[in-house]
Amino acid sequence: MDAANAEAEKADSASRLSYAIKQTAPGTALRHALDMIIAGHLGALICIGDTESVIGAGDDGFKLDISFTANRLFELSKMDGAIVIDKGLTQILRANYHLNPDPSLPTSETGMRHRTAARMSLLTEATVISVSERRQVVTVFVDGRGHQLKSVPDIMSSVNQLLVSMQSTRTQLDRSLLRLTTLELDNYVTLADITETIYLFEVLTTVSEELDKLILQLGSQGKTIAMQRDEFMGDTSDEYTLLLRDYALDSSEEYALKVRASLHETANAQLHSSKRVASLLGYEERGEDSIMTPLGLRTLSNVSVVRKGMADKIVGEFGSLQQLLDDIERNPSRLDSVGVANPGILADSLYRMWGKRA
């Protein structure tokens, strides 16, 4: 139960940090105010949300209760002390407010303003922003964790590197999947072939997640990057799940998703290990040269006449892709029972993919 609670708290903390980054992204009023504070060579300590707890941890200052605007926040930052804003960024409640968080709360921060911000984010559920007057950097604190905001040019430099990596990986993955399809039709897929393809899926997924983090930080300027990311990803998530269902000991989608989660938590070096991949797929004592027989779900799903959900019915009827190829010409009428309206087209499509027929 304790482990479950810890996971829930971790997920909640990550969610609140994502929301805080979104609030401070380029294009928002809060980011505009922060940019003005930096440009004015000022410092600031800003608490957003959980206002009762924040106000309860301090004293003095000015009670304002005025509408939030970027210009007002900038002007109020010229005073010492903290600025307290409601969660929805609609009201500025306090300015020049003196905060007194428990000094025993742990923090690795060194500057007075950053230490106060870190401790306030531990003491309350507020998002606390510290702007360093000396270093001219903005750090967002949630649950004691600090996230330093980057400039748009710095973020875009990282974005461009990731997009290049994503394009290269997608090209390699497409080639690997085409090769895998041919091997499946030849009934000569090895564990090493599957391991290589899974590795590329994982690289693409990881790069996409890193890009997502940067898109969040770009705010309104990240829309085009998100479109490029989606273009590179395409339907790879569905193909990945189908690949795992094809080769896992348990072919259910639920099991495939569990395998995906385990693979994603696996260290990079282990993703190259055929033995490790075989273990996650449910097999023991399999070497990289072991022959693996696919169900054919992924390959069948790429045939135009196979409607959504039909691949499962075909595999249920024939047992595997190879069995389907063996039976399809001798008794194509069996396909009628699973709802394939054009069994001849299905056969031709599979053979064209195989390269056995023009």
Res 321 pLDDT > 90: no
From residue 45, alpha-carbon distances to 50, 119, 299 in Å are 15, 12, 57
Please write the tens of the pLDDT for every residue from 150-201.
989 999 999 999 999 999 999 999 999 999 998 988 889 999 999 999 999 9
Give the separation between CA 163 and CA 254, rounded to whole angstroms: 31
CA distance 69 to 29: 7
Per-residue DSSP letter, 41: T
Confidence of residue 6 (pLDDT cuts 50, 70, 90): low
What are the tens digits of pLDDT across the range 94-109?
Answer: 999 999 998 889 888 8
Q: Which residue ranges make up each domain of the chain?
A: 2-149, 151-294, 295-358
Q: Which of 132-146, 211-225, 336-350 is least confident?
A: 336-350
Look at residue 78 in the predicted model and tell me its pLDDT: 93
Top pLDDT among 58 and 110 is at 58
Tens of pLDDT, residue by residue over 254-290, are 999 999 999 999 998 899 999 999 999 999 888 899 9
What are residue 63's DSSP bridge partners? 94
120's CB contacts (< 8 A; 6+ apart) are 47, 54, 57, 99, 101, 126, 128, 141
Cα dihedral 26, 29, 30, 36, rounded to 10, equals: 80
Decide if pLDDT at 345 tops 90.
no
Claim: this prediction has a pTM higher than 0.85 = no
- Rounded CA-CA distance 76/82 in Å is 9
- Is residue 202's pLDDT more than 50? yes
In angstroms, the CA 264 to CA 262 distance is 5
- Please state which of the four CATH numbers 3.40.50.720, 3.40.1700.10, 3.40.33.10, 3.90.950.10 is assigned to the domain occupying 2-149: 3.40.1700.10
Q: What is the mean pLDDT of the chain?
A: 89
CATH architecture of 151-294: Up-down Bundle (1.20)
pLDDT tens for 28-85 read 999 999 999 999 999 999 999 999 999 999 988 899 999 999 999 999 999 989 999 9
Start-to-end CA span in the chain (Å): 60
Has residue 210 got a pLDDT over 70? yes
Q: What is the mean pLDDT of residues 320-325?
A: 80
| Among 25-29, 132-136, 232-236, the least confident range | 132-136
